[in-house]
């Protein structure tokens, strides 16, 4: 077996899909908004959100910029003017929008009935990734409204409270979906479809959201791409695969440690969990992302070990609680997640359609022309719903389908 050759080919595909400069191929612009959840917001909404946490996350709206901002120098100057003090520089073709600018974007969106798609990136993902830019570009070209919901601390967002996101955190998703229904679906003369697209870890969160909310997801449909169903099996699979062990694990460890280090001032408000001593000790000995989840993530959600957290956060155990039309796209050569997909469960499930390719890697699915196969599929899937008078799962008659297999999500 040519270990070096196999690892190199996976490395090239990963670099191509995640790091290549696709700004010319997918010329999309983004307006960033900071969403702030206060302690008062949490207290006043406990009947709606079980686990909403104070802090910040960000949204990147796909926008048509003013004509003058097509000049890179003008855009660069505007970006420098609008960036909040102490915040990192954003990725190309993305800048913070002022309150009035965001209001103008939302007013334009409110005047039509175009579908709104919410994209949930993976663990360290965001608009810097070519697969996400491809999907944004193709949906936007078809007249859809699109935005990316960034994890707290990801895609150059800041962590402002001592909490990191986990696979069980679905209330940020719910918060935005309810907020957008209120802002964009309240017009009497306009009905609007909402879709969610989750990549990898973002898809895992989306699956848990769909299971938790059942028919009350307030989504017309959902799509997951290269998302794990069983976290324990997926972590073992990544360690066993050549590229997973030698390439991806180290990249994940680097991102996770950097996220803690970059946000240490906010995280140190919980010194029993995020002290510098604990961080330095973990940094010296860590060899796998499992150790990070064992040290930090599991404790954030009340589990004594990472392994138990993986069980709790695995959507497989609650697959029959999903009652939103769902397209699942996976590949059997994925080096990052377990390819032991729930085929039998999906066959029994009227709400889920699974498409499995034999070549695709981890949300790459790159065609010979260098484009991404799945982004065309996602665009076609979402566009097809416009022909149907369906807006939420309550508009679908499932003839009382139910499977009494409920496992509580904390």
DSSP string, 178-229: HHHHHHHS--TT----EEEEEETHHHHHHHHHHHHHGGGS--SEEEEES--S
Q: pLDDT at residue 39 above 60?
A: yes
Q: Please compute the mean of the pLDDT values over residues 195-220 and round it to a whole number.
A: 97
pLDDT bracket for residue 367 (50, 70, 90): confident
Fold for the domain defined by 3-252+303-395:
Rossmann fold (3.40.50)
What is the pLDDT, as a whole number, of residue 343? 97
Can you give the residue ranges of every domain in the chain?
A: 3-252+303-395
What is the pLDDT, as a whole number, of residue 187? 56
Distance CA(239)–CA(249), nearest Å, equals 8
More confident of the two residues 128 and 8: 128
Lowest mean pLDDT among 22-31, 286-295, 339-348: 22-31
pLDDT in tens, 298-356: 999 999 999 999 999 999 999 999 999 999 999 999 999 999 999 999 999 999 999 99
Lowest mean pLDDT among 25-39, 238-252, 332-346: 238-252
Q: pLDDT at residue 185 above 80?
A: no
H/E element, 47: none
Distance CA(10)–CA(13), nearest Å, equals 5
Q: pLDDT at residue 14 above 80?
A: no
Q: Which of 83, 75, 82, 85 is nearest to 29 (CA)?
A: 75
Q: Which two tokens stand for residue 132?
A: 């996400």
Distance CA(390)–CA(392), nearest Å, equals 6
More confident of the two residues 91 and 188: 91
* Average pLDDT in the chain: 91
- Residue 99: HSE in the Cβ half-sphere, 13 Å Cα cutoff: 0
Q: pLDDT at residue 186 above 60?
A: no
Say if CB 140 and CB 114 are below 8 A apart.
Answer: no
Q: pLDDT at residue 17 above 60?
A: no
What is the pLDDT, as a whole number, of residue 348? 94
pLDDT in tens, 265-282: 999 999 999 999 999 999
In this structure, what DSSP letter does residue 383 have?
H
What is the pLDDT, as a whole number, of residue 22? 63
Lowest mean pLDDT among 150-154, 289-293, 364-368: 364-368
What is the pLDDT, as a whole number, of residue 404? 76
Considering the entire predicted model, what is its pTM?
Answer: 0.92
% of the chain beyond a pLDDT of 70:
92
Q: Please compute the mean of the pLDDT values over residues 370-377 and round it to a whole number.
A: 91
């Amino acid at each position: 077996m040519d270990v070096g050759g196999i690892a190199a080919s996976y490395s090239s595909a990963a670099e191509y899909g995640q790091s290549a400069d696709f700004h010319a191929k997918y010329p999309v612009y983004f307006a960033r908004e900071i969403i702030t959840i206060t302690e008062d917001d949490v207290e006043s909404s406990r009947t709606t959100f079980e686990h909403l946490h104070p802090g910040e996350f960000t949204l990147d709206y796909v926008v048509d910029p003013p004509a003058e901002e097509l000049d890179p120098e003008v855009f660069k100057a505007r970006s420098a003017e609008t960036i909040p003090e102490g915040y990192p520089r954003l990725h190309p073709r993305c800048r913070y929008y002022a309150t009035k600018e965001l209001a103008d974007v939302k007013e334009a969106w409110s005047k039509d009935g175009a579908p709104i798609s919410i994209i949930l990136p993976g663990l360290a993902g965001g608009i810097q990734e070519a697969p996400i830019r491809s999907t944004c570009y193709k949906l936007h070209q078809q007249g859809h409204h699109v935005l990316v919901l960034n994890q707290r601390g990801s895609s150059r967002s800041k962590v402002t409270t001592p909490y990191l996101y986990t696979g069980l955190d679905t209330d940020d998703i719910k918060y935005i979906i309810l907020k957008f229904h209120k802002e964009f679906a309240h017009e009497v003369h306009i009905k609007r479809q909402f879709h969610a697209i989750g990549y990898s870890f973002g898809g895992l969160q989306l699956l848990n959201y769909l299971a938790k909310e059942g028919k009350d997801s307030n989504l017309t449909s959902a799509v997951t791409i290269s998302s794990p169903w069983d976290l324990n099996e997926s972590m073992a699979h990544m360690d066993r695969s050549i590229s997973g062990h030698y390439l991806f694990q180290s990249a994940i460890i680097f991102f996770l440690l950097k996220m803690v280090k970059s946000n240490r001032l906010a995280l140190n408000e919980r010194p029993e969990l995020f002290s510098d001593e604990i961080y330095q000790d973990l940094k010296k000995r860590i060899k796998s992302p499992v150790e990070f989840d064992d040290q930090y993530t599991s404790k954030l959600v009340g589990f004594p070990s990472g392994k138990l957290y993986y069980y709790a956060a695995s959507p497989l155990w609650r697959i029959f609680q999903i009652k939103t039309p769902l397209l699942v796209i996976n590949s059997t050569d994925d080096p990052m997640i377990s390819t032991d997909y729930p085929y039998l469960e999906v066959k029994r499930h009227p709400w889920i359609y699974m498409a499995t390719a034999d070549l695709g890697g981890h949300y790459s699915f790159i065609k010979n022309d260098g484009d991404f196969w799945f982004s065309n599929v996602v665009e076609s899937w979402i566009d097809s719903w416009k022909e149907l008078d369906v807006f939420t799962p309550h508009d679908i008659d499932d003839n009382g389908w139910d499977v009494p297999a409920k496992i509580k999500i904390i």
